[in-house]
Amino acid sequence: MGDLIGVLGGTFDPPHLAHLILADEARYVLDLQRILWVVTAQPPHKQNQSISSVHHRVAMVKLVTDADPAFEFSTADLDRPPPHYAHGTMEWLRIRYPNSKFAYLMGEDSLRDLPAWNMPQLFVDSCDAIGVMDRLAVEYEVAQLEEELPGLGHKLVFLGVPPIMISGRDIRSRVREKRPFHYLMPPAVSNYVLEQGLYS
């Protein structure tokens, strides 16, 4: 699958080590050319949540992508109007990279929730592969998911990423409560959070 481009979308508030581990493992398992980090400007499922400005989230992701030549910052969810659903992201990318194939990367929680996504069948059809962090957590559910979303099963690639209990929500709480958080993110991102006074 060496002609695949990885797509890692998210709020990235902030980008943390779980994102990096997923991206790195996917690059190895799927033999990805590169991985596009797609910052979702206005996440439809987080409309009632307080999130950092897109300016800060883009700046933090650029700190991550600038540090690794296999990572690339993408404006897929910035250069088009909301709502920013995953099937729209894939459509935007396919227009701009017409000769490429794409592997969308996600956690097992996102795979579980996939039938509730906006136009999930269109999303599945738009992907050449879907890389998922861990098989054990969802293996028993794959057959059911395939019934709801035909064609999903043969596109799934389970990456074998070890369980990583790091989340943006926990990091934001730690910063707010003045608990340790520095080593849950790349140092450049931790320093940015401190310098900009985010989450406090």
For the chain, the straight-line distance linking the first and the last C-alpha, in angstroms and rounded, comes to 43
Distance CA(119)–CA(29), nearest Å, equals 28
User: Residue 169: what pLDDT?
Assistant: 94
Tokens of 35: 């991985």
User: Residue 125: what pLDDT?
Assistant: 97
> Other CB atoms closer than 10 Å to residue 48's CB: what's the count?
5
pTM of this prediction? 0.93
User: Residue 89: what pLDDT?
Assistant: 96
User: Residue 181: what pLDDT?
Assistant: 97
Three-state SS for 35-100 is: EEEEECCCCHHHCCCCCCCHHHHHHHHHHHHCCCCCEEEECCCCCCCCCCCHHHHHHHHHHHCCCC
Q: For the chain, which domains are there?
A: 4-165 (3.40.50.620)
Q: What are phi and psi of 162, to 5 degrees?
A: -65, 150
Mean pLDDT by 10 residues, the chain (200 residues): 85 96 95 96 70 96 97 95 93 94 92 94 98 71 90 93 89 97 97 96
Residue bearing tokens 């800060």: 56
Distance CA(65)–CA(196), nearest Å, equals 19
Give me the residues paired with residue 130 across strands.
Answer: 104, 156
